[in-house]
């Protein structure tokens, strides 16, 4: 046996209905909010993320699956979606093509992290981005959409955390304040943090080393260093969230691990996920489109981990719209009628199964049970003689006889009743 690569996982039939539910709920929600789907390649140029995600981030420094391809180009498996969507927005001039560029994407992402429950090397995200709108109402809309996603999936105990990390006008002063506040304590932090203090002090907040946390908790808060424009913007985001009745907490620790964020950042935690309890995260990235060679357009978005949504969803959230039917045949003559019935049911849009090796009726019924069939449609010589089908309710054992001519309508009615 050749096993799967460490940190990757198969999504098996027993689990896939939960994935489908996340996908269908989010797809419907995104469309209600006016977002259009985009699918971009999984491989991109390495420099897209070096420039986009940021040279000093953990993702770029430690976690990228980057390689030189046979043509000598530096390629990477995408570690996140935002730079790819920015690239597509610029490359295809989506600003011209769309009334408002509001995009969403589903797909696998790749990061060489230490695998554990809820953390993989190939994982999946759903990602939402809006380009070109700086009004705080759009920050609130994106957060409202994220909140709606988590609540519609029934995820227990969601907690929204927000912050503002300022802009290029106010951020340098905040960075200096961080370094000044640390003073000589910087030598007590881990080697990564000492490097961060010199290159990009904000990244100190990403540190996960337990011994460093007390010092980091005591650091200054970015909201106290915002310029007037950022302060007004953040106050307005809070006002919108209050108006929508979405509960939130402001956390100065929430600077997010990527370099492009400006102003609003947010995360939703919850779902009793233990250590890996961040379900989704995002924020505003006002300089990124320009940095990646596009026009000077602002942007905001978020990414949710689909594995974590699936783990956090309550157990009864599978698809409930299935009515599996099982066709059983007794005897060779009945088998042909049964095959025709099976095909008619499927053509009529119904889910129908049959056991081709159909031995005894008992073994066929066993199979029907394993398939969780709601009804068995049984054909034998007796039914053939009167042009009928026996319809057995698998839950109650109750059995009726229905005319073959009306059986499709009969099953359609059962399915309609089932879905109500």
Virtual CA dihedral for 267, 268, 269, 273, nearest 10 degrees? -110
Of the two residues 114 and 362, which places its CB atom closer to ligand AMP in the complex?
114
- The minimum distance between CB 7 and ligand AMP, in angstroms, equals 8
Q: Residue 297 CB, nearest distance to ligand AMP (Å)?
A: 21
Least distance to ligand AMP from the beta carbon of 134, Å? Answer: 21
Q: Smallest Cα–Cα separation from 121: which of 28, 13, 2, 7?
A: 7
Helix axes 191-199 and 171-182, enclosed angle (nearest 10):
140
**Comparison of 88 and 312: residue with beta carbon closer to ligand AMP:** 312
Which is nearer to ligand AMP, 152 or 185 (by Cβ)?
A: 152
Q: What is the 3-state secondary structure (H, E, C) of 82-101?
A: HHHHHHHHHHCCHHHHCCCC
Looking at beta carbons only, is 8 or 194 nearer to ligand AMP? 8
Q: What is the DSSP letter of 405?
A: G
Task: Work out how close the CB of 392 gets to ligand AMP at its nearest, in angstroms, rounded to a whole number.
Answer: 44
What is d(CA 377, CA 327) in angstroms, rounded to the nearest whole number? 5
375-379 vs 325-329, strand pairing mode: parallel
Smallest distance, Å, CB 259 to ligand AMP?
A: 12
Residue with nearest beta carbon to ligand AMP: 305
According to DSSP, residue 268 is labeled E
**Residue 124 Cβ, how far from ligand AMP at the closest point, in Å?**
8
Inter-CA distances, 222 with 41, 193, 268, 369, Å: 36, 18, 20, 60
120 vs 326 by CB, closer to ligand AMP:
120
Residues of the shown chain interacting with ligand AMP in the complex, contacts defined by CB under 6 A: 80, 111, 113, 118-120, 123, 125, 257, 278-281, 303-305, 307-308
Q: Is 331 helix (H, G, I), strand (E, B) or coil?
A: coil
DSSP track, 244-299: HT---EE-TT---S-TT-EEEEEEEE-TT-TT--EEEEEEE-TTHHHHTTS-S--E
22 versus 328: smaller Cβ distance to ligand AMP:
22
* For ligand AMP, the closer CB: 240 or 308: 308
């Amino acid at each position: 046996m050749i096993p799967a690569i460490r940190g990757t996982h198969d999504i098996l039939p027993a689990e896939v209905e939960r994935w489908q539910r996340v996908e269908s709920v989010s797809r419907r929600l995104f469309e209600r909010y006016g977002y259009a789907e985009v699918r971009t390649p999984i491989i991109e140029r390495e420099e897209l993320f070096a420039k986009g995600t940021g040279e000093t981030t953990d993702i770029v420094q430690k976690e990228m699956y980057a390689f030189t391809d046979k043509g000598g180009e530096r390629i990477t498996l995408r570690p996140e979606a935002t730079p790819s969507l920015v690239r597509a927005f610029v490359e295809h001039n989506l600003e011209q093509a769309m009334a408002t560029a509001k995009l969403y994407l589903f797909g696998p992402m790749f990061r060489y992290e230490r695998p554990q429950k809820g953390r993989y090397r190939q994982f999946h995200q759903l990602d939402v981005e809006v380009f070109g709108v700086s009004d705080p109402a759009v920050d609130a809309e994106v957060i409202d959409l994220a909140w709606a996603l988590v609540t519609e999936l029934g995820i227990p105990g969601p907690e929204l955390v927000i912050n503002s990390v300022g802009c290029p006008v106010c951020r340098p002063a905040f960075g200096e304040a961080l370094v000044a506040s640390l003073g000589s304590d910087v030598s007590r932090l881990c080697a990564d943090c000492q490097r961060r203090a010199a290159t990009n002090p904000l990244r100190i907040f990403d540190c996960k080393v337990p011994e460093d946390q007390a010092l980091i908790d005591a650091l200054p808060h970015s909201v106290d260093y915002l310029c007037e424009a950022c302060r007004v913007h953040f106050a307005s985001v809070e006002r919108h969230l209050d108006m929508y009745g979405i509960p939130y907490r402001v956390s100065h620790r929430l600077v997010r691990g990527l370099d492009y964020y400006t102003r609003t950042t947010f995360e939703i935690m919850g779902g009793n996920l233990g250590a890996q309890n961040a379900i989704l995260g995002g924020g505003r990235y006002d300089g990124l489109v320009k940095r990646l060679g596009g026009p000077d357009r602002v942007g905001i978005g978020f990414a949710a981990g689909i594995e974590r949504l699936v783990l956090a969803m309550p157990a009864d959230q599978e698809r409930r719209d299935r009515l599996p039917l099982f066709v059983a045949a007794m005897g060779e003559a009945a088998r042909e009628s049964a095959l025709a019935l099976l095909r008619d049911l499927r053509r009529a849009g119904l889910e129908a199964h049959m056991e081709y090796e159909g031995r005894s009726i008992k073994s066929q019924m066993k199979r029907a049970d394993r398939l969780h069939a709601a009804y068995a449609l049984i054909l034998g010589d007796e039914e053939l003689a009167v042009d009928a089908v026996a319809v057995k309710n698998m839950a109650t054992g109750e059995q009726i006889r229905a005319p073959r001519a009306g059986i499709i309508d009969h099953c359609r009615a059962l399915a309609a009743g089932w879905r109500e």
